[in-house]
Amino acid sequence: MHRFRREDSLRRLADEDFDVLVIGGGITGAGVALDAASRGFKTALVEKGDFASGTSSKSSKMVHGGLRYLQQREFRLVYENLAERQRLLDNAPHLVAPLPFLIPLFGRDGVVSKTVARSYSTALWLYDLTGGIRIGSRHQRVSKQDALAHLPTLNTAHLVAGFLYFDARADDARLTLALARTAAIEHGAVVANYAPVTTLTTGPDGTTTGAIALADPSDPASELAIRARVVVNATGVWADDVRALDEGSHPHSIRPAKGVHVTVPADRLPCDIAAVIPVPKDRRSIFVVSWPDSDLVYLGTTDTDYTGPLDNPACEPEDVDYLLEAANNVTTSKLTRADVTGVWAGLRPLLAPSGKELSERTSDLSRRHTVRSSPHGVITVTGGKLTTYRKMAQDTVDAVVRHLGESSTARRCLTKDMHLIGYSRATRDPVAMAGPHARFVGRYGSESAAVLELARDRPELLEPIAEGLPYTGAEVLWAAREEMAQTLDDVLARRTRAGIQRARSAMHAAPSVARLLAPELGWDAARADEEAARFVASVEKDLLSAGLSLL
Ligand SMILES: Cc1cc2nc3c(=O)[nH]c(=O)nc-3n(C[C@H](O)[C@H](O)[C@H](O)COP(=O)(O)OP(=O)(O)OC[C@H]3O[C@@H](n4cnc5c(N)ncnc54)[C@H](O)[C@@H]3O)c2cc1C
């Protein structure tokens, strides 16, 4: 039996009895599964699409305290976020890396407004004192030349100086996957993707006894009954739909907010760290962020109310223009839509406001989380951030312990100091990172030797699979064998990030990557062609709806 193979998981989901069933394989659900399994609960997790295919692959990829939340006077939130940031840097150094942020300061005649400089300085001191400094460096004021060294196309006419402060970044989809794999491989959770829950089951007294999921999402007859003492609803923006299965009516507790990012070549907007740039006529900022191991940077995010369908929200032309205009306003890059090589749009699962917050912009709504238990035994966790998934999971599993009437001492949370699968500190070692396969260490940690081993007798597997991107055939095979990739999209959009970095290269690579996957996933030639065609059609749709050309 393989602990992270879908067929094995489906069999066990049908055969075994569980303490906890987690619905949703985003960062929150994967975190809950790890927390519950490591406390000794027999745990199952089912995800309707691929792991992280919801919001958790579409974030800004920052593990941060959230400097702007200080402006909203959310001191406790920032403190908690920064504590979680530090835990992630310690527990997953192979996946989470420190990232310096530049705040350029603009002014007139070489002088920056004292009020602006003072307000940034105060905020950054507060950030450091709230826990930011634990990353090992405190913020600093830098010269105009230093700012230009990081973002050389900054418009020098008004640039006066800058501030540098320190946060962290992660590949959101890979972090989510690492949590699901740690839960399954190291703590015995039973985990399956492409298994949507359609019904919650109840006993004679009305309490929840588990759920029905589909073993094949395209076949309504492929029902799989999963027995569990408690069900955790960790379905992000879909949480109200699952609550409706339990409560009988839709609670409308989530207000989704759409956020879009675009990727552009670094030679058009060079940036070797992250930079915070103001958006003209909008009282908010966006980030310009270097993509590691590539000659690309991304820009984001927008933050707008969203009422459309929850699956695959579209990036629209005005979203792209908003981001490009913000960059063009402070640089000489003169970006146009023709520069964009990739796009992604995600939905923030924000808690719907009440009272005076009703009229607030989505960017002003709190990023806190809530845990709610229904009378039937369904525990729903909503809101929060990628950065705070561990605390969300802890609070949720504490509610599970209370619901089951178990001892909180015997079932105490263990994740604060828990290393994630592949844990390796080599990414912090400049000598190790100077080696020829350093990139693998930053993605696979201690498992990188096993990924490279796949290419021992097949050196062609170390060749890039898509033009302008570093991903190799060995990573494709690893995704199929060890990371439960089921489709071409799983490999090109989440196990690697080709689809959102260079969408057109990913489309060109689709047929050859499908052929590489075919023997691994038991596809015949027709199925491999179908997979490639489906992937190309979905990327084309994304590009066209964003107002971008296919060439
Ligand atoms: C644009 C944007 C930028 C962001 N940037 C950051 C950032 O830089 N840093 C940060 O900390 N946070 C950031 N966030 C927030 C963060 O990404 C989210 O809070 C987090 O990813 C939410 O994770 P989740 O697991 O709750 O939801 P999701 O990732 O959406 O997971 C829910 C899962 O449930 C599944 N599901 C739904 N219904 C069912 C069902 N019936 N059966 C089975 N499965 C089901 C879905 O398929 C989905 O995969 C950002 C968010 C957005 C949108």
Measured CA to CA, the distance from residue 73 to residue 78 in angstroms comes to 9
User: CB-hemisphere CA count at 13 Å for 172?
Assistant: 26
Measured CA to CA, the distance from residue 305 to residue 293 in angstroms comes to 33
- Amino acid letter at 417? D
Kindly list the distances between the CA atom of residue 302 and the CA atoms of 165, 260, 363, 538, in Å, as whole numbers in the listed order: 22, 5, 9, 22
- What SS3 state is found at 428? helix
pLDDT of 116: 87
How large a percentage of the chain has pLDDT more than 90?
A: 87
Q: At what angle are helices 114-129 and 75-91 packed, to 10 degrees? A: 60
Kindly list the distances between the CA atom of residue 301 and the CA atoms of 63, 327, 453, 548, in Å, as whole numbers in the listed order: 15, 12, 38, 18
Task: Find the 277 Cα to ligand 1 centroid distance in Å.
Answer: 25
Measured CA to CA, the distance from residue 217 to residue 422 in angstroms comes to 31
pLDDT of 113: 84
350 CB near ligand 1 (under 6 Å): no
Task: Find the 57 Cα to ligand 1 centroid distance in Å.
Answer: 7
333 CB near ligand 1 (under 6 Å): no
Handedness of CA 4, 6, 12, 17 (dihedral sign): positive
Task: Find the 457 Cα to ligand 1 centroid distance in Å.
Answer: 39
Measured CA to CA, the distance from residue 234 to residue 15 in angstroms comes to 23
Give helix then strand counts, H and E, for the chain: 18, 19
Residue length of the chain: 551
What share of residues in the chain are helix, strand, coil (percent, to 5)? 40, 25, 35
Task: Find the 366 Cα to ligand 1 centroid distance in Å.
Answer: 16
Tell which one of 27, 35, 50, 55 to mutate to probe ligand 1, the residue whose CB is within 8 A of the most ligand atoms. 55
49 CB near ligand 1 (under 6 Å): yes
pTM: 0.97
9 CB near ligand 1 (under 6 Å): no
Query: Atom of ligand 1 at shortest distance to CA of 388?
Result: 11
pLDDT of 361: 61
pLDDT of 1: 82
Measured CA to CA, the distance from residue 146 to residue 43 in angstroms comes to 51
Kindly list the distances between the CA atom of residue 208 and the CA atoms of 134, 199, 205, 270, 411, in Å, as whole numbers in the listed order: 43, 11, 9, 54, 22
Supply 229's token pair. Answer: 């003492």
Low-confidence ranges of the chain (pLDDT < 70): 354-367
236 CB near ligand 1 (under 6 Å): yes
- The residue behind tokens 């350029």 is 104
